[in-house]
Amino acid sequence: MAERAAERLAMHVAMAQALASEVTAAAIAAAARELAARFDAGGTLLIFGNGGSAADAQHLAAEFTGRYMLDRAPLPALALADNTAAVTAIANDYGFDRVFARQVHAFGNGDGAAIALSTSGTSENVLEGLRAARELGLLTIGVTGEGGAERMRALCDHLLTIPAVQTPQIQEGTMLVLHTICELVEHSLFGE
């Protein structure tokens, strides 16, 4: 059992080291810079994904509306899977593919931003949410694994690809990227 634990931890370290490239750091910084500008202009951040990605969306929304590392004013962020009544009503009336797009149309505006999370990059409801965000002029940021980049790329202003193929490593890398974005946005808007 200890050997398996060591292997799993080594996989995490390898993924994190691959993620720590100058290219990825620059891509994260560019996304965070534009997101900070959207917040500064009064925009709202809409975050969405399925399953573990929905939980990551909730986590990130809490970091922005609460605080991450700095005591500061709250930033408007919504995790679109939070409202189970809306998710189930939209799924029932329009189909599960529309659960995020419909909410993006309800809450999004051109000053805002959307962060789409999909370990596979192929979740149709996430792709539809990105399409809706693009239609409204929102800044679009996607986070996915190596296998999902192709379908999301054309829908994202910034696509951040986690250098992993297994879902657990993609999820771990996703949270590292999201925390880094949050830290950069906080420091950009509120300083030390």
**Residuewise pLDDT in 10s, the chain (192 residues):** 989 989 888 888 888 898 899 999 999 999 999 999 999 999 999 999 999 999 999 999 999 999 999 999 999 999 999 999 999 999 999 999 999 999 999 999 989 999 999 999 899 999 999 999 999 999 999 999 998 788 999 999 999 999 988 898 999 999 999 999 999 999 999 986
Q: What is the pLDDT of residue 8?
A: 86
3-state secondary structure of 191: coil
First to last CA, the chain: 43
Q: How high is the pLDDT of residue 23?
A: 94
For residue 86, give Cα distances in angstroms to 47, 81, 90, 97: 15, 8, 6, 13
How much is the pLDDT for 15? 85
* Number of neighbouring beta carbons within 10 Å of residue 74: 9
**Which pLDDT score is estimated for 192?**
67
The whole model's pTM is what?
0.95
Domain ranges of the chain: 2-190
Residue 175 vs residues 4, 92, 126, 130, 153: alpha-carbon distances, Å: 23, 31, 18, 20, 20
Give the H/E segment covering residue 79.
strand 77-79
Q: CATH number for the 2-190 domain, one of 3.40.30.10, 3.40.50.2000, 3.40.50.10490, 3.40.50.300? A: 3.40.50.10490
Please tell me the predicted confidence (pLDDT) of residue 158: 98
- Is the distance from CB of 99 to CB of 83 less than 8 angstroms? no
